[in-house]
């Protein structure tokens, strides 16, 4: 087999092309979508479905046999050879609520896992036309320019991003307690509205940290690799690594990790 890194770089180039093409579909639908509610406050549009269909078809053509895990229930998840070591994790539109209101950011998140480890991550912020890419071991790039996490060393100087609960409110008290602790300790907190882009913005040093519960693998797989390749750290709220499927995510520039982990302690037992 070829040097895996070269193979991953080739696959990244295909993923970048597909993300940009998918971005055109999203742009076409911006401002003219019909919104459906899959569940309470869980929106889907024909753009989400069309983008997912486009991406899964293209991946199947380019990489026959690779497995696919994608958000929308179009009978496309887990397709491919069960024994393949390769699996794509796709969010066709991350930030659908923003998208339906015409509020940036929102975008496409594509990750490739090889033997259970994410090796390629691509996040495309459509309204800002910003493409974030990483290959494991090769650093993180924003529109082709190398980037890295911030060097912020104290919470007092930190800007933190999060996702407010908006579907499941059973643990709102704990969330508000954690949020209050973070608000008191830092320069401020933001809620942009797309987890993959929160992570991309940590990876390139705009935010110093991110926390959210209840996230799915398609929200985080690509963005986690971006943060790690930018020199940051990603864990669950207990400090455990590889939280792709953990439904709890804490990402920081590394220097602030333990301090932010301590602040979100009220959410230790929350996974929704």
Closest separation between CB of residue 121 and Ca ion, Å?
14
**219 lies in the site for ligand IPD, by CB under 6 A:** yes
Query: 197-207 burial, b for 16+ CB within 10 Å, e for fewer?
Result: bbbbbbbbbbb
* Closest CB to Ca ion among residues 193, 231: 193
Distance of CA 96 to the CA centre of its chain: 13
**91 lies in the site for Ca ion, by CB under 5 A:** yes
Stretch 190-209: interaction string toward ligand IPD, x if CB under 6 A = ---xxx--------------
Total residue length of the chain? 272
Q: Which stretch binds ligand IPD (CB under 6 A): 14-22, 92-100, 138-146, 245-253?
A: 92-100
d(CA 101, CA 90): 22
**249 lies in the site for ligand IPD, by CB under 6 A:** no
# residues near ligand IPD by CB under 6 A: 13
Six-digit token string for 245: 């499927």
Six-digit token string for 123: 């996040």
Six-digit token string for 112: 């490739």
Q: Which stretch binds Ca ion (CB under 5 A): 2-10, 80-88, 206-214, 217-225?
A: 217-225
**Residues 164-193 contacting ligand IPD, CB under 6 A:** 193
**Nearest Cα to Cα of residue 161 among 107, 217, 227:** 227
Residue 215 interaction partner, one of Ca ion, ligand IPD, none, beta carbon < 5-8 Å per kind? ligand IPD
Which segments of 30-145 does DSSP mark as H helices, in order? 46-62, 96-101
* Closest CB to Ca ion among residues 150, 244: 244
**174 lies in the site for Ca ion, by CB under 5 A:** no
**Which string of DSSP letters, residue by residue, matches 110-133?**
EEEEETTEEEEEEEEETTTTEEEE
* Closest CB to ligand IPD among residues 18, 135: 18
**50 lies in the site for ligand IPD, by CB under 6 A:** no
* Closest CB to ligand IPD among residues 7, 35: 35
Closest separation between CB of residue 154 and ligand IPD, Å?
27
d(CA 118, CA 63): 16
Contact indicator for 108, 23 with CB cutoff of 8 Å: yes
Instruction: Point out which residues bind ligand IPD (CB under 6 A).
Output: 91, 94-97, 163, 193-195, 212, 214-215, 219
């Amino acid at each position: 087999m070829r040097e895996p890194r070269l193979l991953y770089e080739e696959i990244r180039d295909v993923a970048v092309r597909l993300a940009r093409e998918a971005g055109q579909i999203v742009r076409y639908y911006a401002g003219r979508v019909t919104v459906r509610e899959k569940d309470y406050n869980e929106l889907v549009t024909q753009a989400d479905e069309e983008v997912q269909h486009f991406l899964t078809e293209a991946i199947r053509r380019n990489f026959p046999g690779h497995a696919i895990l994608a958000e929308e229930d179009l009978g496309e998840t887990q397709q491919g050879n069960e024994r393949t070591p390769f699996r794509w994790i796709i969010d066709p539109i991350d930030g659908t609520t923003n998208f339906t209101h015409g509020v940036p950011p929102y975008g496409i998140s594509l990750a490739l896992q090889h033997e259970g480890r994410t090796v390629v991550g691509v996040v495309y912020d459509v309204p800002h036309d910003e493409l974030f890419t990483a290959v494991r071991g090769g650093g993180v790039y924003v529109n082709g320019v190398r980037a890295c996490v911030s060097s912020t060393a104290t919470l007092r100087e930190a800007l933190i991003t999060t996702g407010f609960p908006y579907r499941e409110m059973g643990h709102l008290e704990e969330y508000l307690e954690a949020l209050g602790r973070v608000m008191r300790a830092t320069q401020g907190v933001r809620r942009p509205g797309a987890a993959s882009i929160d992570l991309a913005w940590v990876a390139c040093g705009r935010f110093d940290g991110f926390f959210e519960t209840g996230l799915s693998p398609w929200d985080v797989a690509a963005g986690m690799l971006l943060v790690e390749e930018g020199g940051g750290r990603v864990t669950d709220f207990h400090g455990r690594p590889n939280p792709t499927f953990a439904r709890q995510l804490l990402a920081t520039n590394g220097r602030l990790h333990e301090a932010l982990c301590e602040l979100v302690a009220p959410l230790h037992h929350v996974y929704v």
